[in-house]
A and B are shown apart, each in its own frame.
Chain A
Amino acid sequence: MEEAAKKENLKRKRKRRRRPAAEPLTPPDPAIVIALFGLMIIGAVMIYSSTSYTSDLDSQSTFLVKQIRAEVLGILGMGLIYIMPFGVIRWFGRLKPRIVLLCGSLGTVFLLLTPLGKTVNGATRWINLGPIGQVQPAEIVKIAVLIFIAGYVAEKTGAVDTLKGYAIPALVTLGSAGLVYKISNNLSSALIIAAIGMLMIFTASKKWQWQIIVYPLIAVLGVAYFLSKAHAAQAAGDVDNLKFRYKRILIWEDPTNPDFYYEGAFQTLQGLYAIGSGGVFGKGVGKGIQKLDKIPEVHNDMIYSVICEEMGLVGAGVVLILLAVLVIRSAQIALKARDTYSMLLCFGVTIHIAIQTILNVMVVTNTMPNTGVSLPFISYGGSSALFLMAEVGLVLRVARNNNR
């Protein structure tokens, strides 16, 4: 009997061991794949359209080539994650690996302080990796925080409802965001990191009611504080000594204010001109004028304005719908997830894509003060594309696991 039981046990163990390897390689979720490639194609076209004119003749496609290189790398990474055993992904959520991952990503932020850091427009945001290119550590931190929170929350049901259980992930999130803000002077990335982390905690909480009161309250108070400070300075006529973030608030309220034209208002204003002049169907791809030396960072943060100018409301709508497909699909996958870890992982990615899209379009349409956020899968930027695609890879992997 004992022997039989042992044999049975062994069999079961063998079966269990073999099982992951036997997991069939089903094709990835078609909606996500189509939306993703649609966005990347539109992005490539718009990057070429907005950079080919200002680049030198012999390097008209420099930006495009760099972007495609990053995207090919991203697709490879995505594929790698997709074929990985799910255990590996789950392993990252465990205590030691997730702490190592977080510390490692924060370590890359500290690398910015070394000579490897590369400064553009007064902010050090890139690490120069020589021939490989350059990487934005903030993007690594985003994915690390995402995995950390998902792993932490999934470890013990109801963990985040205790004070300690809430404080640890919240401090990790806000600490990482603060570090990114402090070192790379990058408010937008810090905000995104904070939003991803805090919203994930909120999602996992059973006692969530206080949070929907407190978070908006903090946000409102913060906005009121900045607004009042900016207005006070404006009333006192002491605008020149304001930090640029306060100036951006004043620009947001009135982009046509000539005092701020050279302080960045032209970017907002010219972006609005581009959007407004596009009309329903746009001027046609490649026929925009505003990208010609008028809008700074046109291929990057402001690319939505070029889409509006050249492809009109229709083009902008298509882009936002494709992004919405990504958001809806990954939320659906999260809902179907087999465990809390996969669910939060998936929804963290959903939050990331949605938040970044919303912030970017709000900035370009002057719905909020200017801060540099890229439009997912569209804007020029290798790190952003690479890590966002890795995140989409996670979502696809979870989906594959769901269908098992």
Chain B
Amino acid sequence: MHTISAKIIIMAAIMIMFFAFLIFRTWTIMRDNGERYKKQVLNQQKYDSRSIPYQRGAILDRNGTLLAYSERVYNVILDAKMALRDPDSIEPTFNAVSTCLGIDTSVGSDLRDYMADNPESQYHVAGLITYEQRQEYETYIANYNATIAEENKNRDKKLPEINKKAIWFEDQFKRTYPGGTLACDVIGFTTSDGRGQYGLEEYYDDMLTGKNGREYGYLTAENALERTVVPAQNGYTLVTTIDSYVQRVCEEKLKEYDETHAGEYRENEMGADNTGVIVMDIHSGEILAMASYPYYNLNDPRDLSMYSDIEVGQLARIGGWNEEFVEGETSEERKEKEESRLEKARQTLWKNFCIAQSYEPGSVCKTFTVAAALDAGVIHDGDSFDCRGYLTFGEGSRATTIRCHQRYGDGVISLKQAVEKSCNVALMLIGQKLGKDKFLKYQRNFNFGLRTNIDLAGEMRTATLVFNKNNMGITELMTSTFGQGFNVTMIQNISAFASLVNGGYYYQPHVVKQIKDSAGAVVENIEPTIVRQAVSESVSRLMIDYCIGVVDEGTGTRARPAGYRIGGKTGTAERSGQGKRDYTVSFMGFAPANDPQIAIYVVVDRPNTASQENGTRNACILCKDILTEILPYLHIFMTEPLTAAERKELEEKGLKDTLSQNSISDSASENEVSAPVPVEEKPDVRVLIDDKTGYAIDPINGEYLDPDTGVPINDDSSIFQDANGNPVEIEVLKDEEEEKLDPRE
């Protein structure tokens, strides 16, 4: 008994000594290696700080339809270190990856090479997958591992399961444009690193961009690692004024136009260098649709496959590419040239023709000249003009003669007829009465030479493309009266035209009407802004009447959609420096005639047609085709009886005769398009304008300011000085320079 007790005591003592030794051992580890291990522990944590991506804001049309949104996708991350911990499981794991995620994991694939080269790596992006793929992968793993576990019960040599730690997923967002090409010019696209390019994506980049969140560990004063999550802030959502349906109709018609006229005159080329349409609500400046052809796919903006090689060449030439492929150049040189050619073509596609391309507008501008003269009181409704087919002005050697369209003259015509027949001579006579100063003042009233400040990236600056009091001679004044010699953009023209037919109020055009945060709360409402009163209401009424005349019995009869009465003005302009055969044809109109609600502007730049008359006619028909489909949609009802032929045509298109509805639902015609503008907003003229020149004035020192940039204007524009009285060749500002200027400044 005693020996047992003694042994128990001794053994228990040994055990306790062991315990003491273990404490000592623990302490020595801490003492000898504590600092080193502390650093080592923190060193290993480097990837533990994890970025949480924000979701870029969506872009909606006016009815809430998604035009652009960011879809949640996943980066597939390979953790080579974890994978190699269990080498047997690599095969089944990689099998699952290639089966479910479509990532190449065969022997010799990038993934395997990477893993072999970087066995310590814990973060390698192996691919990008959708939510569905991720789910498939996870279901696959669960099933596979369950099956293997079942089977392993009856096996000696166990089969490896899938290693769940070898592959993990990181949230990511991918920009998606459900409409594909729909409203591509308006929306723009985003680069792979999430920056907006062109259109709304660029202009509202700050709003759409959120802030990445972060999950990270940091050291406290006691060297302890704390973990904190800063959630991501998602970007704001834009609600645009674009109406998807109207936009789609416009794009379809432009495409149809192109298909009809492609190769008509110049073989294999497109129907025109550019065609563009803008539909605008004249009572608010809201853009309902803005489209141009050729367009591109927003989901793959670099893709040129929808255009033939000759068309790509045409696009590159429009963009200013003027190299030639020659014999005997090395493949290297050729490749480089080809690359620059494709890049130019892409830039042409990406550029929004409606705001970023200037051209000589032609006869559509006659409406502005007439309105200016009426408003200034130098002519009156009912005045008549004698057109003999030409007009000579200036004296002696400076004498210049400009012809009318009618070689033998229109004879004595009234003011209304002058607009209807688009008589150049009558317009020049009006211009002489108006004079240079007043003409320039009204040009500024209509905002020519200034940016409209539409909320889209890349609006062209046209300040140097219009005349000013220093460089406008008599010839320049004469050509300007019918829209030649100076340059405008489409958006300038339609904004000015809207002011002519809405009572004289010039609205700043805009595309976004509301900005919401990611939770749906309204951050900002963008109300219509009246910049100034361009002409008086009475002049506006007269202009509506004249424009209706153009469509009723003048040059624009083909633009009238069946069942409707509209107003408008045709335009044909010679393109300077492009040769005799090149024109820009257009039709600018409003509807309905009795109560104008929308304005539409169709431009066909360098149509592929044999004669200018054909071109102008085609622009009218294009306009009519669009209006035929969108007016009923916009709840604008027919006012005119239909002929049997028209009825048949409408039935073929699946459209109804809405004449009968007009009388019944009077309130329905007061639809969302014509949201009544509050009266008190009308005197909201924001820019202080000099009456003489139309320039903005600095309220402090009285200097003229460039309304675009806000800097004082340098009046040194002698290069445009016309010494001999000859038409001035106006150089178009290069695109590259234009894009450098931030439109938001």
Contact = CB atoms under 8 A, between A and B. Distances in A.
Given A115-B153, A122-B158, A279-B30, A354 B18 contact: yes
Given A203-B4, A208-B3, A272-B33, A327 B16 contact: yes
A283 B224 CA distance: 6
B36 interface: yes
Interface stretch (A36-44, A141-149, A312-320): A312-320
Contacts of A275: 26, 29-30, 37
A347 interface: yes
A168 interface: no
Nearest to A157: B1
A290 B87 contact: no
A361 interface: yes
B195 interface: no
Given A206-B3, A335-B9, A365 B25 contact: yes
A294 B44 contact: yes
Given A206-B3, A328-B12, A276 B34 contact: yes
Interface size class of B (residues with CB under 8 A): 35 or more
A367 interface: yes
Contacts of A340: 1, 4
Given A276-B37, A327-B15, A358 B22 contact: yes
Given A118-B153, A273-B44, 15 more contacts: A119-B153, A273-B40, A275-B30, A277-B38, A279-B30, A287-B224, A313-B30, A317-B23, A320-B23, A327-B16, A331-B11, A343-B8, A351-B11, A358-B19, A361-B26
B30 A199 contact: no
Interface string A310-348: 001100110010011001100100110000100100010
B38 A350 contact: no
B224 A284 contact: yes
Residue among A118, A292, A294 with max Cβ neighbours from chain B (10 Å): A292
Contacts of B153: 115, 117-119
Interface in A190-210: 199, 202-204, 206, 208
10 shortest A-B CB distances, which residue pairs? Answer: A276-B37, A331-B12, A354-B15, A277-B38, A361-B22, A276-B33, A277-B41, A273-B37, A277-B37, A283-B224
B19 A347 contact: no
Interface string A69-82: 00000000000000
B23 A289 contact: no
A287 B36 CA distance: 19
17 contacts: A115-B154, A262-B84, A272-B29, A275-B30, A276-B30, A278-B30, A280-B30, A289-B41, A293-B165, A313-B23, A313-B27, A317-B23, A327-B15, A331-B8, A351-B11, A357-B22, A367-B22
B87 A199 contact: no
B578 interface: no
A312 B36 CA distance: 16
B225 interface: yes
A274 B40 CA distance: 10
Interface in A87-144: 115, 117-119, 122
A362 interface: yes
Interface in B63-89: 84-85, 87
Contact of B16 (A122, A199, A324, A334): A324
A191 B226 CA distance: 41
Interface size class of A (residues with CB under 8 A): 35 or more
B744 interface: no
A395 interface: no
Given A327-B15, A347-B8, A289 B37 contact: no
Given A272-B33, A275-B29, A358-B19, A203 B7 contact: yes
A392 interface: no
Contacts of A273: 37, 40-41, 44
Interface in A257-309: 262, 266, 272-280, 283-284, 287, 289-290, 292-294, 308
Contacts of B44: 273, 294
Contacts of B643: none
Contacts of B224: 283-284, 287
B36 A276 contact: yes
Contact of B4 (A122, A204, A266): A204
A350 B34 contact: no
A316 B26 contact: yes
Residue among A266, A323, A324 with max Cβ neighbours from chain B (10 Å): A324
A346 B74 CA distance: 60
B5 interface: yes
- Chain A contact residues, majority secondary structure: helix
A203 B8 contact: yes
Nearest to B7: A203
Given A276-B29, A331-B8, A316 B23 contact: yes
A219 to B, nearest CB: 14
B98 interface: no
B477 to A, nearest CB: 76
Contacts of B36: 276
A343 B27 CA distance: 35
Nearest to B37: A276
Contacts of A367: 22, 25
B8 A202 contact: no
Contacts of B11: 199, 203, 331, 347, 351
B457 to A, nearest CB: 43
B45 interface: yes
B121 interface: no
Interface in B358-409: none
Given A203-B8, A277-B38, A287-B224, A324 B19 contact: yes
A117 B156 CA distance: 12
A286 to B, nearest CB: 10
A262 B40 contact: no
Contacts of B48: 292
A402 to B, nearest CB: 14
A287 B12 CA distance: 36
Contacts of A308: 26, 30
Nearest to A327: B15
B152 interface: yes
Contacts of A289: 41-42, 45, 217, 225
Interface in A354-387: 354, 357-358, 361-362, 365, 367
A119 B158 CA distance: 9
B197 to A, nearest CB: 39
Contact of A290 (B1, B41, B154, B165): B41
A199 B22 CA distance: 21
A316 B26 CA distance: 8
A78 to B, nearest CB: 22
A350 B16 CA distance: 11
Contacts of B33: 272, 276
Interface in B184-243: 217, 222-226
A81 B223 CA distance: 48
Interface string B589-625: 0000000000000000000000000000000000000
Nearest to B152: A119
Contacts of B42: 289
A331 B22 contact: no
Interface in A227-277: 262, 266, 272-277
A334 B158 contact: no
Interface in B640-696: none
B534 to A, nearest CB: 63
Contacts of B223: 283
A365 B22 contact: yes
Contacts of A119: 152-153, 158
B238 to A, nearest CB: 34
